[in-house]
Amino acid sequence: MEEVVASKDLTQRKGIFEQIKEELTLHTDTEEATFYKAIEDATRSKNVHEQMEHADEEHDEIRTYI
């Protein structure tokens, strides 16, 4: 984000932002599909389930912001 803010060139800023957006989207999608699913499948803990729900909410926030 520092690069986006520091850049004076609008086209460059958009390009940097699109790269950030793409990488965050890939990260959240991959994490949800593999890591979170594996954790939820491996445990029946209510605490773990609540943490996974919280993480999903954070990912939803990221998607909303970008």
Decide if pLDDT at 28 tops 80: yes
- Spatial contact of 33 and 56, defined as CB atoms under 8 Å apart: no
Decide if pLDDT at 1 tops 80: no
- Spatial contact of 20 and 1, defined as CB atoms under 8 Å apart: yes
pLDDT of residue 23: 93
End-to-end CA distance of the chain: 12
Span 22-31, average pLDDT: 92
pLDDT of residue 46: 87
Domains of the chain by residue range: 2-65
DSSP per position, 37-48: HHHHHH---HHH
How large is the C-alpha radius of gyration of the chain? 16
